[in-house]
Structure 1
Amino acid sequence: MYRSLFPRDVFAEMDRLQREMQQAFDLSPTIRGFARNGFPALNVGGTPQTIEIYAFAPGVDPASLEVDLERGLLTISGERKNPLPDTDSKATVHINERFEGRFRRVLTLPDDADPDAVDANLRDGVLHVTIQRRASAQPRRIAIH
């Protein structure tokens, strides 16, 4: 890309320099400043019967997503590809703030998570994982005789 010695817009040049510095320190240039391993963003919660995990992964090909559960660790991994033209083409990219590449998030699950009762669905770029809690861990009332 061609850059003049005297930028027309000093603020645009400062923004470009900031993005390059963030990329040099392996930070995603998003408004939140997540590190690259902060993708996809997660919401984790639950009910007395289930553990609910939402992973926000827009633009990720469903075939590249993997969800694994082993020894109490849930791993969500995949790859998001860059839809922009290659740098070799004649197209010019002015701003590219979208994370691209391989990602992996690992969550430690509570002891009452049932590894045999897991369901995962992807819809509109949101991966929803539901894990049932073991029946033995459910609260119950004990009858008094």
Structure 2
Amino acid sequence: MYASYSPRDLFAELDRLQRHMQRALDLSPSIRGFARDGFPALNVGGTPQTLEIYAFAPGVDASTLEVGLERGLLTIAGERQTELPDEQSKSAVHIHERFRGRFSRTLSLPDDADPEQVSARLRDGILHITVQRRASAQPRRITVQ
């Protein structure tokens, strides 16, 4: 009827519950994105001149991808299809773990991102988006006289 927890099990379960709740409540979008898992998986980094975003989207056709930038929010959306037997065939699917369907991810870009200087390309299932930083935001050295 009742699960008995030793103190060690109870604290481990409380710790797991706290981490799960923290992830669920962390809704602040930023350059690091949401704390939740999502598709496509993202790597975000940058240099002093650019922001580099890599979206790992195997099996996604470039014609279904949409990349948009509006008011500092970069949105990656699309659709991924999987090859499953149709209903008329006599095949059965026992395990289907690969995500299929529509997806969307949104990132908030920093203020120095230049919305006029964005490029995106898909190669081998990896969408690479480069956003240039504004020239006025570039670090520069000032000579002291």
2:67 is matched with: 67
- Structural mapping, 1:97-108, within 5 Å: 97-108=97-108
Amino acid at match of 1:132: Q
- After the TM superposition, list the runs of 4 or more consecutive aligned residues in structure 1 that deviate by more than 4 angstroms: none
The 2-side partners of 1:142 and 1:59 are apart by 49
Matched positions, count = 111
Cα RMSD after superposing both structures: 1.6
1:55 is matched with: 55
Deviations along 1:12-66, one digit per CA (max 9) or x if unpaired, are xxxxxxxxxxxxxxxxxxxxxxx7x700000000011100000000001110000
Deviations along 1:62-86, one digit per CA (max 9) or x if unpaired, are 1000000010000000000121112
Point out the more displaced range, 59-68 or 78-87.
Answer: 78-87
1:77 is matched with: 77
2:137 is matched with: 137
Report the TM-score when normalising by structure 2: 0.73
The DSSP-based 3-state class of the residue aligned with 2:59 is coil
1:21 is matched with: none
Q: Post-superposition shift, 1:136? A: 0.3
Question: Unaligned 5+ residue runs, structure 2?
Answer: 1-35
The 1-side partners of 2:89 and 2:136 are apart by 60
